[in-house]
Amino acid sequence: MIQPTLKYVPCPGPAAAGHPEQGRRMAYWEWNETGDAAHPHVIVCVHGLARQGRDFDTLARALARHARVVCPDVVGRGRSDWLADPMQYQLPVYAADMLALLAQLHAQRPIATLDWVGTSMGGLIGMGLCGQPGVLPVPVRRLVLNDVGPRVEWQALARIGQYLGQPAHFATLQQAADALWAVSRSFGPHTPAQWLELSRAMVRETPQGGLALHYDPAIAVPFRALTPEAALAGEQQLWQLYDQIPAQVLLLRGAESDLLSSATAREMTARGPRARLVEFAGVGHAPTLVQPDQVAVVAQFLLERQEELTA
């Protein structure tokens, strides 16, 4: 079975924790089964708030015969560096890191076709970049927003805040998977094997033995500092960015999502890029893009020809 290659990109801006003199790096996982090490079609897949790049393994395997699939670990997560200042764990820093990544990929070989898949936070980053013409080395052609939009429901943020950054230690991977499932049931039905595989990259070994969550607990600091007023101001900015997106947009929604309301999803189909909406029954926030029907919807959108998409 094809496996990804772990790579790194140096990033500007805030210093890393522990070794600021060395600069800061973001890790990314690259999948490529095209036979061309610098294939000109690049698909960037960016994960949610407390997740990491290996979330996209199943989707990446389905796409890797057709494109380079690049799945970063956003700073503070996975194999990427942690930040010295927790208040820097915010969207502008994440977006700047993605620009550094795309600049590195574009320098290796000019990107001819660029697509973006963003789950939750990864979708917000994608909206921010796609809504600013000229920022990216090449425009995003097709954008997949996975259960996220300009308006994020406050009750969902409160729910996430209850577990984000809480200390946790596990003796085994199975124990970690069980604990993660307790706060992730909204992801929808998964087999035990699917969930165990999704949980594997969610933990890291500790010097004391056992396992801890893969991310810096301090990512919760700016999240908990968010107020309803600040969230509303951010929403207004995101709608402005969304309305300026030139890419074709596929909007995925868990039919039971508490983060992306059905009203917001419908509004996204009627303004700006007029997203194509697909909902998944029995799923909340957010579809994991592991189930065959979810993978098929995304793969078809990203790989079908232009004339098929507009027919």
Query: What is the tens place of the pLDDT at every residue in 232-270?
Result: 999 999 999 999 999 999 999 999 999 999 999 999 999
Closest CA to 295 of 285, 283, 284, 287: 287
From first to last of its 311 residues, the chain has per-residue pLDDT tens of 789 999 999 998 888 887 666 789 999 999 999 999 999 999 999 999 999 999 999 999 999 999 999 999 999 999 999 999 999 999 999 999 999 999 999 999 999 999 999 999 999 999 999 999 999 999 999 999 999 999 999 999 999 998 999 989 999 999 999 999 999 999 999 999 999 999 999 999 999 899 999 999 999 999 999 999 999 999 999 999 999 999 999 999 999 999 999 999 999 999 999 999 999 999 999 999 999 999 999 999 999 874 454 44
Structure token digits, residue 38: 């610098």
Contact 118, 144 (CB under 8 A): yes
Average pLDDT of every residue of the chain:
94
